[in-house]
Structure 1
Amino acid sequence: MVRVLDVVDKLNARVICGDCDLNQEIHYGFASDLMSDVLTIDTENLLLITGLNNLQTIRTSEMSDISFILFVRDKKVSAEMKDLACENGIVLIECGYSMFKTCSVLGELGLEPVY
């Protein structure tokens, strides 16, 4: 189990939406830029790690009951993405690391893979 605050601190990341409770627990991580792959995941307490920064990422997360999204490679969240995520209670985080580096750090932190 990893807290949102742990992720933010370890990755020098920024919370864009959903910073009201940084003690929320995240158990699993899944990294993908393919939203079709994300739709196949049925896991609670999941952090989606992606570089795909568009509204489809937020909509896919909503459909998949994903509450945490971490954007890598210094991708920036648009105002529309932030609004949609906030409406749906999705925490958005941005970090400057590559997807590979991010996954390595989160694995060391104790985040479990989906498979």
Structure 2
Amino acid sequence: MKLTKIKELLNCKVYFEPEELCSEEFLNACGSDLMSDVLAFVKEKVILLTGLVNPQVIRTAEMMDIKAVIIVRGKQPSEEMLKLAKEKCIALLGTDYPMFQACGILYENGLGKEGCC
């Protein structure tokens, strides 16, 4: 699923989006507020959904080669988080949906159905 479709489905606010990621294809999603769980979730072409709004999210995404993070529950990123996302070229989006519903919408529309853990 392309990032443009994900943004549309979740009615995302864009905080930062590198131009080269607009056509990026994502195969899975990881929804977690525990970065230790994200570190254990080793999948390719994954998008991260979280309610955390601190720089550790971006650092974890960078370590796991996650190219896009969606903040759920209408939260907004901290200035530090946004600055780091820009430095690391990681898309940072936001949605008003709670995590469970956001993950469900993505799954219902095909994300993760092929090769999902």
* Same fold by TM-score greater than 0.5: yes
Higher mean alpha-carbon deviation, 94-103 vs 12-21, is at 12-21
1:41-80 correspondence to structure 2 within 5 Å = 41-80=41-80
Q: Could you list the runs of 4 or more consecutive aligned residues of structure 1 that deviate by over 3 angstroms after TM superposition?
A: none
Unaligned runs of at least 5 residues, structure 2: none
Q: Are the aligned partners of 2:18 and 2:90 in contact in 1 as well (CA < 8 Å)? A: no
In the alignment, what sits opposite 1:3?
A: 2
Higher percent of residues as strand: 1
1:1-115 correspondence to structure 2 within 5 Å = 2-21=1-20, 22-112=22-112, 114-115=116-117
Paired residues in the alignment total: 114
Corresponding letter in the other structure for 1:71: I
- Secondary structure of 1:101's counterpart equals helix
Corresponding letter in the other structure for 2:111: L
Per-residue CA shift, 1:31-63, capped at 9, x if unaligned?
110001111122221101111111111111111
In the alignment, the residues of structure 2 paired with residue 67 and residue 36 of structure 1 have an alpha-carbon distance, to the nearest angstrom, of 18
- Secondary structure of 1:37's counterpart equals helix
Corresponding letter in the other structure for 2:64: S
TM-score normalised to structure 2 length? 0.90
Unaligned runs of at least 5 residues, structure 1: none
In the alignment, the residues of structure 2 paired with residue 10 and residue 60 of structure 1 have an alpha-carbon distance, to the nearest angstrom, of 25
In the alignment, the residues of structure 2 paired with residue 86 and residue 111 of structure 1 have an alpha-carbon distance, to the nearest angstrom, of 25
